[in-house]
């Protein structure tokens, strides 16, 4: 059996990208109770519409309610849950034991998934959650594949196991970090993380005020808490064989292009696994064509020492999105521009489940059909020649100059 591909969506644009590029299920947050307060998230009307669109394609939708709620939020949870269920969600993702038990009591027919925030690192915890009525455990990122296989062997087969295989990692790995709240008053456990672990740090000494001593031998200081990004695409077979039923991509705060590119790559990898074929080289390469930090396999093969990226705080961005495809007709592709580009530029088009299309911009016209040399106005309509039909919603991109 091939694991489910579970993609993130922080807004409707990302949600549509996940559907278009091959997700089997999408996880989203509402305006309350989710661990990504900075994302746009979904109001109940938007959630209704998104679930309907997903179900029309045979795709499931899981709603996060994975904060650690205070009393007032606990009081309001029954009304929230009722509205969410009316939208047609397929499961609730929760971390707090009170929320889990309340959900099981209030709407017992709704499947509940235990969030990675619950910190499931052993089979006894997984069994206990199952006894509470949880049907799926999202395992902690600290686990090795070998440990996951043991959990699978020692838990009821009806309990599904899910794991993160790609995306950003908190320096606390499975979360419950207090650094952001301590330094900024923004509680990471309530979705408002200030990313304090990504900041640049140095040592100071009490009797030498104003003197900063780098923790690492680097003239630019060090990022001692700045975790690399997780990438386990090369090990999907081992993950499947360990008993994982769903592989999860992190990124509810990421842009639609990120969701599209990573979902597309893992869709191709899982389809290759189903056919017992190697992953196409271009699909693996796509993971480096989205914004990312250097990759690591995390703890998949035991404790490691290469999880922290000391060099800098930013991302690797080799490509930028320059437009969204609006349609194709009679050998011409129509674009809504996002970043400027010029006639003669070498560009690529990211499309679902196919190798990116490479071409040169020729016959560039504005929205009125007049010849132009540059598309340099934000969100302007334009078009250029393209022999290959391209679906609406595909991403036009260009390599960044080195």
Residue 381 lies in a domain: yes
Task: Assess whether 100 and 156 both reside in one domain.
Answer: yes
Residue 308 lies in a domain: no
Give the model's confidence band at 199: pLDDT under 50 very low, under 70 low, under 90 confident, else very high: confident
- What is the domain-level CATH number for residue 159? 3.20.20.380
Q: How far apart are CA 56 and CA 60, in angstroms?
A: 10
Q: Which pair of structure tokens corresponds to residue 220?
A: 């630019």
Percent pLDDT > 90 in the chain is: 73
Residue 214 lies in a domain: no
Place of tokens 């007049």: 370
Residue 180, pLDDT score: 75
Residue 190, pLDDT score: 65
Last residue of one domain, picked from the residues 265, 296, 327: 296
Residue 82, pLDDT score: 96
Give the model's confidence band at 402: pLDDT under 50 very low, under 70 low, under 90 confident, else very high: low
Taking only the tens place, the pLDDT of each residue in 1-27 is 999 999 999 999 999 999 999 999 999
Q: How far apart are the first and last CA of the chain?
A: 43
Per the CB < 8 A criterion, the answer to whether 391 and 352 are in contact is: yes
Mean pLDDT of 244-265: 97
Angle at 56 between CA 396 and CA 327, to 5 degrees: 25
Task: Assess whether 250 and 382 both reside in one domain.
Answer: no
Question: Which of 90-94, 193-197, 290-294 shows the highest mean pLDDT?
Answer: 90-94
Last residue of one domain, picked from the residues 264, 296, 328: 296
Pick the residue with more confidence: 73 or 189?
73
Residue 226, pLDDT score: 75
Task: Assess whether 79 and 168 both reside in one domain.
Answer: yes
Residue 17 lies in a domain: yes
Mean pLDDT of 64-68: 90
Residue 379 lies in a domain: yes
Taking only the tens place, the pLDDT of each residue in 204-221 is 777 888 877 666 545 555
Task: Assess whether 239 and 343 both reside in one domain.
Answer: no
Helix count and strand count (H, E) for the chain: 10, 19
Task: Assess whether 270 and 372 both reside in one domain.
Answer: no
- Burial class (CB within 10 angstroms; exposed 0-12, middle 13-18, buried 19+) of 245: middle
Q: Does pLDDT of 358 surpass 80? A: yes
Task: Assess whether 326 and 232 both reside in one domain.
Answer: no
Residue 212 lies in a domain: no
- What is the domain-level CATH number for residue 340? 2.40.30.10
Q: Which pair of structure tokens corresponds to residue 352?
A: 């679902």
Residue 31, pLDDT score: 87
- Burial class (CB within 10 angstroms; exposed 0-12, middle 13-18, buried 19+) of 238: middle
Q: Does pLDDT of 145 surpass 80? A: yes
Task: Assess whether 76 and 164 both reside in one domain.
Answer: yes
Task: Assess whether 167 and 261 both reside in one domain.
Answer: yes
Task: Assess whether 10 and 118 both reside in one domain.
Answer: yes
Taking only the tens place, the pLDDT of each residue in 260-284 is 999 999 999 999 999 999 999 999 9
Instruction: Look up the domain containing 344 and give its range.
Output: 319-399
Task: Assess whether 292 and 323 both reside in one domain.
Answer: no
Q: Does pLDDT of 115 surpass 70? A: yes
Q: How many independent structural domains does the chain possess? A: 2
Task: Assess whether 280 and 325 both reside in one domain.
Answer: no
Taking only the tens place, the pLDDT of each residue in 118-141 is 999 999 999 999 999 999 999 999
Residue 221 lies in a domain: no
- Least reliable range by pLDDT among 22-36, 134-148, 317-331: 22-36
Global pTM exceeds 0.75: yes
- Map residue 134 onto helix, strand or coil: coil
Q: How far apart are CA 29 and CA 91, in angstroms?
A: 12
Residue 217, pLDDT score: 45
Quote the mean pLDDT of the chain.
91
Residue 220, pLDDT score: 53
Last residue of one domain, picked from the residues 296, 328, 353: 296
Residue 265 lies in a domain: yes
Phi-psi map region of 160: left, alpha, beta (phi>0 left; psi -120 to 50 alpha): beta
Task: Assess whether 9 and 150 both reside in one domain.
Answer: yes
């Amino acid at each position: 059996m091939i694991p489910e591909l579970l993609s993130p969506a922080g807004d409707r644009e990302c949600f549509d990208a996940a559907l278009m590029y091959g997700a089997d299920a999408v996880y989203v947050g509402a305006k309350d109770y989710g661990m990504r307060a900075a994302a746009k998230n979904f109001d109940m009307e938007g959630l209704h519409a998104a679930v309907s669109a997903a179900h029309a394609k045979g795709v499931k939708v899981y709603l996060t309610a994975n904060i650690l709620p205070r009393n007032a939020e606990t009081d309001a949870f029954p009304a929230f849950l009722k509205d969410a269920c009316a939208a047609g969600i397929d499961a609730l993702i929760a971390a707090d034991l009170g929320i889990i038990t309340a959900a099981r009591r209030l709407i017992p027919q709704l499947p509940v998934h235990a969030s990675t925030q619950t910190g499931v690192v052993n089979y006894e915890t997984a069994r206990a959650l199952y006894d509470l009525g949880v049907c799926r455990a999202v395992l902690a990122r600290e686990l090795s594949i070998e440990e996951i296989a043991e959990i699978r062997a020692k838990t009821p087969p009806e309990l599904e196991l899910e794991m993160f295989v790609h995306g950003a990692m908190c320096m606390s790995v499975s979360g419950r970090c207090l650094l952001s709240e301590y330094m900024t008053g923004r509680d990471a456990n309530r979705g408002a993380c200030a990313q304090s672990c990504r900041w640049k740090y140095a040592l100071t000494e009490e009797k030498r005020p104003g003197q900063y001593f780098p923790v690492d031998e680097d003239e630019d200081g060090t990022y001692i808490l700045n975790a690399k990004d997780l990438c386990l695409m090369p090990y999907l077979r081992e993950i499947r064989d360990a008993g994982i039923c769903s592989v999860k991509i992190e990124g509810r705060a990421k842009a639609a292009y990120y969701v599209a590119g990573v979902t597309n790559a893992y869709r191709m990898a899982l389809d290759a696994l189903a056919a017992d074929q190697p992953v196409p080289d271009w699909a693996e390469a796509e993971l480096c064509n989205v914004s990312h930090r250097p990759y690591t396999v995390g703890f998949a093969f035991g404790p490691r020492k290469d999880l922290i990226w000391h060099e800098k705080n930013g991302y690797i961005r080799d490509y930028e999105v320059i437009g969204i495809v609006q349609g194709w007709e009679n050998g011409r592709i129509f674009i809504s521009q996002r970043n400027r580009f010029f006639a003669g530029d070498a560009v690529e088009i990211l499309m679902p489940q196919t190798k990116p299309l490479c071409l040169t911009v020729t016959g560039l016209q504005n929205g009125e059909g007049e010849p132009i040399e540059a598309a340099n106005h934000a969100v302007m309509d334009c078009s250029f020649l393209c022999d290959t039909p391209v679906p609406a919603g595909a991403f036009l991109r260009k390599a960044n100059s080195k």
